[in-house]
Amino acid sequence: MSLSYQTVTLDGDIPDRQARLVFRHCGLLAVLSCLSEIHEDLAGQWFIEALFGDQPPPVKQTFQSLDEFEAWLSQG
């Protein structure tokens, strides 16, 4: 699976503004945000803000790393 990432900053008041747009075959597949310290134990993990495509909704919403996100995606 070939994914590419673009670093973006999310608009709004939320503290989790550092984010990645995830592209697959030039189409936007997901928006992931990096969770800030307000989430305590989850800080630094990647959270699915939006997911496009036909994969089932994830049971797990946060991922330790982008590699873990890609591994979950490949299982779908």
Partner 1 sequence: MSANDNDALAPVIRKLGRLAALQPADCDAIRSLPFRTRSAAANQFLVREGDQITECCILLKGYACRHKTTSSGARQIVSFHLPGDILDLQHILLARADHNLQTITAATLAWVPTSELKRLGQERPAVGDAFWRDTLVDASIFREWVLNVGRRDAKSRIAHMLCEFAARREVAGLGSPERFELPMTQEQIGDATGMTSVHVNRMLHELANSGVIARNKREVEITDWARMRAIADFDPAYLHAAA
Which residues are near partner 1 by CB under 8 A?
A: 13-16, 35, 38-39, 42, 47, 56-57, 59, 61-62
Torsion-angle region of residue 45: left (phi > 0), alpha (psi -120 to 50) or beta?
Answer: beta
CB of 14 to partner 1, least distance (A): 6
Question: For residues 57 and 73, is the Cβ–Cβ distance under 8 A?
Answer: no
Choose between 27 and 56: whose C-beta lies nearer to partner 1: 56
For residues 13 and 67, which CB has a smaller minimum distance to partner 1 in the complex?
13
